[in-house]
């Protein structure tokens, strides 16, 4: 005997609409954010509604993920889930900032190459390339890059995003803001290319 799907309550319809809106914006909400948006006293109340929506087949839950809410059939070849792994300096290099625990679902067609992760830009040394403070830049992991490409590089253990310039006796990392001087990588200095810049996401 077939059963008809259960229509969610008015409050659950509101929560479902909120989840869909947040996913469309690029990031599923956490239970804490649902609780705050709907005035629940705790995440447990939000979890009760989320589990009910999942049981009704209106959403899917990825296990052991803070932002594990998915929409049925939402995974398309052009949609990529990209973690935010920390910050990258558009200025003086800064240390890595892991543990962001953020993930965005984005249209892969936004990027020139398919990125592996996102980094949040801090600083304004790349403004002439349209990379602004606070932007999320997509990065494809690779230890190799061509002369002239924008790269994420590690210099003495700290991360920066700059335009790569290879010269016969040295490497320079060029800013795209005349207020900043190039970073000159000396022979034998701790240096590695972590990846190449694929494009960016700017959130209002």
pLDDT in tens, 156-187: 989 999 999 999 889 999 999 999 999 999 88
d(CA 202, CA 67): 20
Helix (H) or strand (E) holding 15: helix 10-24
Instruction: Quote the pTM value.
Output: 0.64
State the pLDDT at residue 6. 41
Distance CA 26, CA 105 (A): 5
Q: Which residues of the chain have pLDDT under 70?
A: 1-9, 73-79, 91-101, 204
pLDDT at position 3 is: 39
The answer to whether residue 122 is catalytic is: no
CB 59 within 8 A of CB 80: no
| pLDDT for res 51 | 92
Q: Pick the catalytic residue: 30, 66, 75, 162?
A: 162
Residue 56: its pLDDT value, please?
84
Nearest Cα to 110, choosing from 201, 19, 18? 201
pLDDT at 5: 41
30 is catalytic: no
Delineate the domains of the chain, giving CATH numbers in brackets. Answer: 10-70 (1.10.10.10), 79-201 (2.10.109.10)
Among 2, 9, 30, 125, which one carries the catalytic annotation? 125
């Amino acid at each position: 005997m077939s059963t008809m799907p259960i229509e969610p309550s008015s409050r659950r319809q509101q929560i479902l609409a909120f989840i869909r809106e947040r996913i469309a914006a690029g990031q599923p909400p956490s239970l804490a954010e649902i609780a705050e948006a709907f005035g629940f006293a705790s995440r447990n109340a939000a979890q009760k509604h989320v589990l009910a929506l999942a049981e009704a087949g209106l959403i899917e839950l990825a296990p052991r993920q803070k932002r594990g809410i998915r929409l049925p059939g939402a995974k398309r070849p052009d949609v990529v889930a990209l973690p935010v792994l920390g910050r990258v300096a558009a200025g003086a290099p800064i240390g890595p900032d892991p543990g962001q625990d953020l993930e965005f679902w984005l249209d892969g067609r936004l990027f020139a190459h398919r990125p592996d992760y996102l980094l949040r830009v801090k600083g304004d040394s790349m403004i002439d390339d349209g990379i602004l403070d606070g932007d999320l830049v997509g990065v494809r992991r690779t230890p190799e890059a061509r002369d002239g490409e924008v790269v994420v590089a590690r210099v003495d253990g700290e991360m920066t995003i700059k335009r790569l310039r290879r010269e016969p006796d040295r490497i320079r990392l060029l800013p795209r803001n005349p207020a900043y001087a190039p970073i000159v990588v000396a022979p034998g200095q701790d240096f590695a290319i972590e990846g190449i810049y694929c494009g960016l996401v700017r959130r209002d």
